[in-house]
Structure 1
Amino acid sequence: MRLSQLIAAVHEGIDVAAAMADVAEVARHDRYQASAGILAAAGYVAQRAADAGLRDVTVHTFPADGARRWWTYQAPMSWTPVRASLRHSGETLIDYPAQPYTLAAYSAPTRAGGVAVPLLRWSAMCAGADATGTLVLLDDVRVPFPECARRAAAGGAVAVAADPLSARTDRFADQVGRLELLPGTALAGFSLTAAQLTRLSTAADRGEAVTVEVAVAESTADMPVVTGVLPGDGGGDEFLLSAHLCHPRPSANDNASGVAALLATARLLGARPAGGPDLRFLWAPEFVGVAAYLHDLVGSGAVARPSLAVNVDMAGQDPYRCGSSLMIERGPDDVPSFLPALAERCADLMPARARSYSGAVPCEPGETAIAPFSGGSDHALVSDAPTGCPTVSFGHWPDRTNHTSADTLDMVDPAELRRTITVAASTVAAVRGRADPALAADVADACAGWAAGHILAALPGRRRTPAPYPYGDDGSPVLDPASDAASGRRVAHCGEIVGRCVGTLTHAGVPAGEIVRTAHWLADVSATAADRAAAARATAAGRERALGAEPSTADEGSGTVLARAALGPVNPRSLAATAADRAWLAEHLAEDRGGSHARVLTLLRAVDGRRGRRSAAWWAALASELPISVAFADRVFDMLHRAGWVVPVLNPAEDLNAAEDLDAARHPG
């Protein structure tokens, strides 16, 4: 079978109505990570997975006590909200659960019937006003909500309220954003619309009060993780398919749609002949649920370590209403894989919803983009140590409804959900059909075509103008991977990555001889591109040096490189250990959420026991395809060192005893 035929068959076999019904059912539940709502959703998913033909379907439960249990990951705290309200002048402004997202996660309960509390502006509290017994209104858009909550709690406040969407110009009038308090807090928290914040701020100036009521279930809930298996050819390898199950109601696209996409994939592939690797389906709370799965189940040998992984996070955004494109996110460059190339080819071969005027060219209402690794979902853990699994992740971005009350069922486009399912399921099915020589050849061609394009895209003139550097001038050189002067670095980096990607084609049944031939051809492409880049760089060298855009690596500390400690997979919540580091990171995430997250995680991945600070920073800039200033990189490395993730060691290439030092750094104690 050819790849195009496989994709057409998968597309035809999707039951869109069943997938949308799954989205609707999952979206009915408030899916906090250890709550009655997520347990109900997990039970539904387990039943649907069994109905789809998966074997050994299990709802694993893990303690939800806040203890550190899985490497650096803490278990969530059990928290099931029942109802909440905020009343002012006899009018109910907030009525949870009728108004989703209005109650901050982990809000503390009040006494039955509520409590009357005076209103107080954040700015007034900062000016010295007593916050004891008040509801503090965050009226400064520059202040991160966690900082407001921390200081309000320290000042004796009863509650906090904020408008986390205040900087958004594309919001709906009644749209509110997600807020989260620390588990075990004594505060209640509320998410407001712009109009509500204005009204209550004015009321605070008049010395008025509100009545706050929060009721939380007294019973406790564990954290559920759902797994099931579709057996393969008995070869012993396993392909992991994941979609996170959590988030407040409705969170239809993020991520009820991803949950439904995996259920649809199970139905599709369960109806096809068995072959290839076993398929392990995983539905879990984001990050922490996957950490528990990898640590307790994979780490103990109870389930197999995956050899490949696909993650689906936000599968059905209406491209017109949400403003989204289908994003195929590559795995990190230190764990290359053919999967993104195969996924892109599957997207290209999709049955067209429309065609050009002549009919020669297929057209799609929603675009498809291949993005570098940013690590904003569960594939960040699976691809990291100790699992180190090649991955690809499917999602949609941007999305004006993400993490807000507007992420409702009507924002899920059935046609776009079908498109995502087709691409993701076809990617998996192509690997599962690796015994078919024609299919394996098409997969090899897809990887070779992508790899050559990836190298050639590094040449000057092929790079789009990058987004402006988001943090302003910090007085240090900016490592700009898109500059003409960096073209030699880009070509070399891309050439190394694609060569390793081709090596992973063994998982797709591609013969070793074909892999070697493809690698040799790509080496020739890379060498030719390097020659062209060198000529362009020579032309641009003087101008770029004058701009300070091509700092060298000569300022490395002599004999010192950075090594990573054995703390397990990355944990975005434990990267900063000191109050100053947490404040710095929160400020940068508030300024540029996605870009800051990607830069920090890629800088961590650049630490390999061989690179010093500057070469690691350059690697991160090239891998993330984002400019990174020297000062920003140094600040991140210092932060990671204080948190225990990164340690300086002697360069193994310069010291005979450095290998022992490196091993000791990675495995302290």
Structure 2
Amino acid sequence: MADSPVSQLLPFLRIDDIMGHVERVSAHDRYQASLGLERAAEAVAEAAASAGLQDVGVRRFAADGRPQWWTFRAPVSWTPLTARLAVLAGPGPHPPEVWSVDHAEQPFTVATYSAPTPHGGSTAPLVPLGADDPVGPAMTGAVALVDRAAFVRGSLLPELTAAGALGLVTDAPCKGDEPDPYVGRIELPPDSALFGFSVTPAMFRSARAAAERGAVARAEVIVDRTAAMPVVSGVLPGDEEAGEIWLTGHLCHPRPGSNDNASGVAALLGVAATLARARRASTRHGARRPIRFFWGAEFLGNAAVLHESSAPGGRGLPDALINLDMVGEDQARCRSPFVVERPPETTPTLLGPLAEHVVEETFAATADSPGTWSTSPFLGFSDHALYADPSVDRPAVQFCHPADRFNHSAGDSPDKVSPVEMARATLAGAALAQLLASDGPDAATRSAIVDRWCERERQAVTELRRGTPHTWGSGLADHVARQGTALRALAAGAPVARARELTESAATKPVGRAVHRRWQGPLNLRAMLGELPPATRIVLGGMIAEDKHHLSVLFNLAIRANGHRDRDRIVTETSYGLRRPLDPDATARLFDALLESGWLRQA
């Protein structure tokens, strides 16, 4: 442990500076193309230069909603300058107020991409809407009070828009414990004709009771549309002929967004400062490869970077990527352990075992503080997903706390961020970047790390097979054994192509029609869903609203369509990759949707 990158870098970590970054970033409303995001980007660029990065800059992209990076559209510029809602006891010149909210004082109350109201605001009747209630003529010119069951209806927003409703109010996204949960996030389409407000259950109940007595809503939403989409970058230099290591942490989200993702932004600044201090202190901490940092809008920032980097004359793609998203959660308060989300198993890579080794050492170095860590299969809910696409195919790992119970709510505030967890994320990110930039540990150490990883996987599969169908369990065991053989070969110095061959077996050869991808650039599920017929889109929207992991299954199915696998093999390998049997009916609907969209085709 004394010679490990973790122990070498620990003296150079400054946690007070990192926590200060969390506070400063949390103060900005950081919608994907907003004045708040531009201000946050400038602050991050200044901090990145102070941390020791070179070539620090802010690249601004037009936020006009048009296709710009393969199938990815630029975000639509949207900054809420004013967003207020009041429930009044009735119409008339001076009715008493039941309650009111103001986004300037109460974050997360206004729905992202809310449409502006006419000058001076709008006053409209409040009309309750339950799960089984039709959206009828009463909604014309009204504000819908949408209960939780109705909110997840896939057709809700198109129905309200078609009926001529002005907006909606709901408590559906609230997070946290009763009796005082936190207001949660609502996101409308960028071209929405509706405004929306998110309120607490107590406010919703009082509004519904008041609506039965003739209450009205008074709303005022003023929007600025001048901001661009900024992406901040900087580099710790190395051999310009060597491949780069990239680190990324998305900068966007409504305020405070402290864990999602001011924590990742701050941790990346901490990684940069830690590595820069270590380099200045000793030549031992030099690196052969450049280490490049990016902060921008989630998914779209990395799409823009990848598009420019892969174009003729661009800097090229990285050798590996580390993504920090939601890394600071206080484990006791947020009820979420530290998680290493692995790369997908579509291409053998040592990045996963190395990342887990570094995190294990980091937790050992901070064992006097409580907290646990675990691993996750590749799910693809953040920026690292873009690198899993076959057109990019670069190993990417994510550090995160995905089960945070305050995520996407006003409860995601600085008091939920743990200094210990921030130190762990920063230290692990810095140590892993240092290993990758210096071509990793020696062959003997690599082999020892991989051997331990394979043994843990074997034990985990033994546990997983209990209670699962025998055929699936034995297939998983064979799949994991082949993955282990490939990783051992990589650790011994074999090329990736040879390791890939070792993952194959007679059982994995396609016997049906091969499935091919038909999209350009990294997979963009939002664009794919947008090309489905409305009826199918509504069905899939309902499935994803009911269980977010349907989106992960959809992504994992798609990235395995490389023209060498048939449908059955894609489904089977996806289940092995996710380490669980898949529901056959739901999986069939998801696969059929990929074919119906035209993004996949069978030979």
For normalisation by structure 1, the TM-score amounts to 0.82
Shift of 1:84: 1.2
Deviation per CA, 1:340-362: give whole Å up to 9, x if none. Answer: 211211222226477xxxxxxx5
Q: 1:566 to 1:591 in 2, by over 3 A?
A: closer
Aligned residues of 1:122 and 1:140 also touching (Cα < 8 A): no
CA distance in 2, matches of 1:161, 1:4: 57
SS in 2 for 1:101: coil
**Residue number in structure 2 paired with 1:199:** 206
Aligned residues of 2:263 and 2:327 also touching (Cα < 8 A): yes
CA distance in 2, matches of 1:326, 1:126: 44
| Equivalent position to 2:331, from 304, 316, 319 | 319
Deviation per CA, 1:614-649: give whole Å up to 9, x if none. Answer: 221111111111321332222112111122221010
Shift of 1:87: 0.9
Aligned residues of 1:165 and 1:171 also touching (Cα < 8 A): no
Deviation per CA, 1:539-577: give whole Å up to 9, x if none. Answer: xxxxxxxxxxxxx999x9x75221111322121312322
Deviation per CA, 1:39-76: give whole Å up to 9, x if none. Answer: 11111111111112212112111111111121111111
Q: 1:430 to 1:340 in 2, by over 3 A?
A: same
Unaligned runs of 5+ in 1: 355-361, 467-481, 506-510, 531-551, 650-669
**Residue number in structure 1 paired with 2:39:** 40
Aligned residues of 2:523 and 2:559 also touching (Cα < 8 A): no
Q: 1:553 to 1:42 in 2, by over 3 A?
A: closer
**Residue number in structure 1 paired with 2:159:** 151
**Residue number in structure 2 paired with 1:428:** 433
| One-letter amino acid of the counterpart of residue 251, structure 1 | G
CA distance in 1, matches of 2:198, 2:422: 29
- Does residue 582 (structure 1) correspond to residue 563 (structure 2)? The answer is no
Aligned residues of 2:21 and 2:266 also touching (Cα < 8 A): yes
- Does residue 94 (structure 1) correspond to residue 94 (structure 2)? The answer is no
| Equivalent position to 2:302, from 281, 290, 300 | 290
Shift of 1:143: 4.0
Q: 1:169 to 1:322 in 2, by over 3 A?
A: closer
- Does residue 463 (structure 1) correspond to residue 464 (structure 2)? The answer is yes
Identity of aligned residues (%): 35
Q: 1:145 to 1:230 in 2, by over 3 A?
A: farther
CA distance in 1, matches of 2:101, 2:522: 39
SS in 2 for 1:609: strand
Shift of 1:171: 5.5
CA distance in 1, matches of 2:306, 2:342: 21
**Residue number in structure 2 paired with 1:605:** 559
| Equivalent position to 1:383, from 381, 388, 391 | 388
**Residue number in structure 1 paired with 2:186:** 179
Aligned residues of 1:384 and 1:569 also touching (Cα < 8 A): yes
- Does residue 344 (structure 1) correspond to residue 356 (structure 2)? The answer is yes
- Does residue 237 (structure 1) correspond to residue 238 (structure 2)? The answer is no
- Does residue 83 (structure 1) correspond to residue 101 (structure 2)? The answer is no
| One-letter amino acid of the counterpart of residue 204, structure 1 | A
Deviation per CA, 1:328-374: give whole Å up to 9, x if none. Answer: 000111033212211211222226477xxxxxxx5752211111000
Higher relative contact order, structure no. (Cα contacts within 8 Å, ≥ 6 residues apart): 2
**Residue number in structure 2 paired with 1:656:** none
SS in 2 for 1:640: helix
Shift of 1:10: 1.9
Aligned residues of 1:134 and 1:159 also touching (Cα < 8 A): yes
**Residue number in structure 2 paired with 1:499:** 485
**Residue number in structure 2 paired with 1:475:** none
**Residue number in structure 2 paired with 1:396:** 401
Q: 1:347 to 1:73 in 2, by over 3 A?
A: same
CA distance in 2, matches of 1:443, 1:142: 53
CA distance in 1, matches of 2:290, 2:100: 51
Shift of 1:128: 3.4
* TM alignment of 1:50-449, pairs within 5 A: 50-89=49-88, 90-123=97-130, 126=134, 128-144=136-152, 147-165=155-173, 170=177, 173-217=180-224, 219-271=225-277, 272=279, 273-350=285-362, 352=364, 362=367, 365-434=370-439, 437=442, 441-449=444-452
| One-letter amino acid of the counterpart of residue 387, structure 1 | V
SS in 2 for 1:385: coil
Aligned residues of 1:337 and 1:391 also touching (Cα < 8 A): no
| One-letter amino acid of the counterpart of residue 597, structure 1 | L
SS in 2 for 1:225: strand
Q: 1:583 to 1:364 in 2, by over 3 A?
A: farther
Unaligned runs of 5+ in 2: 89-96, 280-284
CA distance in 2, matches of 1:164, 1:139: 7
CA distance in 2, matches of 1:10, 1:647: 49
CA distance in 2, matches of 1:206, 1:639: 45
CA distance in 1, matches of 2:401, 2:556: 21
Report the number of matched residues. 584
Q: 1:625 to 1:3 in 2, by over 3 A?
A: farther
| One-letter amino acid of the counterpart of residue 495, structure 1 | A
Q: More displaced, 251-260 or 562-571?
A: 562-571
CA distance in 2, matches of 1:343, 1:172: 40
SS in 2 for 1:126: coil
**Residue number in structure 2 paired with 1:633:** 587
Aligned residues of 2:173 and 2:186 also touching (Cα < 8 A): no
CA distance in 1, matches of 2:167, 2:561: 42
Aligned residues of 1:325 and 1:368 also touching (Cα < 8 A): yes
**Residue number in structure 1 paired with 2:26:** 27
CA distance in 2, matches of 1:204, 1:498: 62
Shift of 1:158: 0.8
CA distance in 1, matches of 2:537, 2:243: 40
| One-letter amino acid of the counterpart of residue 164, structure 2 | G
Shift of 1:269: 1.2
Aligned residues of 1:617 and 1:630 also touching (Cα < 8 A): no
CA distance in 2, matches of 1:66, 1:504: 43
Aligned residues of 1:170 and 1:400 also touching (Cα < 8 A): no
Shift of 1:488: 2.3
For normalisation by structure 2, the TM-score amounts to 0.90
Q: 1:562 to 1:172 in 2, by over 3 A?
A: farther
SS in 2 for 1:17: helix
Q: More displaced, 574-583 or 248-257?
A: 574-583
Aligned residues of 1:276 and 1:431 also touching (Cα < 8 A): no
* RMSD, aligned CA: 2.8
Q: 1:129 to 1:435 in 2, by over 3 A?
A: closer
Shift of 1:252: 0.2
| One-letter amino acid of the counterpart of residue 152, structure 2 | P
Aligned residues of 1:613 and 1:634 also touching (Cα < 8 A): no
Aligned residues of 2:127 and 2:143 also touching (Cα < 8 A): yes
Deviation per CA, 1:304-345: give whole Å up to 9, x if none. Answer: 211111111011000010001000000111033212211211
| Equivalent position to 1:487, from 464, 473, 496 | 473
Deviation per CA, 1:472-528: give whole Å up to 9, x if none. Answer: xxxxxxxxxx433323211221123233434555xxxxx638x99x98xxx9xx99x
SS in 2 for 1:119: strand
CA distance in 1, matches of 2:57, 2:447: 36
